[in-house]
Amino acid sequence: MAVGTFQNWRDIADLTLETISRDPDVALPARDGKACYSRVMFFYNVRTNQLVQQRIFRMIVIVATGDILTLTPHDKQCEPVA
């Protein structure tokens, strides 16, 4: 995800975690005491301020503790559990 942004992949991961935690586009309960948060992220080249890419990310969290289990790029926002 960091290609073309002139940022380290860890910076991109931190930015994504912080942004989804503060302001998810979708927040839904998941199975086994977990929750799914997702958001479209926009990544810019820090030197030119040009948009490099946009991508949806999903973050799975344990509701009771707030521990983050996973953060992954995805094709869709979180969906209700059937």
Q: Is residue 4 included in any domain, yes or no?
A: no
**pTM of the entire predicted model:** 0.87
User: What pLDDT score was predicted for residue 78?
Assistant: 97
Domain that holds residue 53: 9-74
Number of domains within the chain: 1
Answer whether 57's CB lies under 8 Å from 13's CB: no
Assigned domain for 82 exists: no
Rounded to whole angstroms, how far apart are CA atoms 72 and 30? Answer: 15
Query: What SS3 class is residue 44?
Result: strand
pLDDT in tens, 17-71: 999 999 999 999 999 999 999 999 999 988 999 999 999 999 999 999 999 999 9
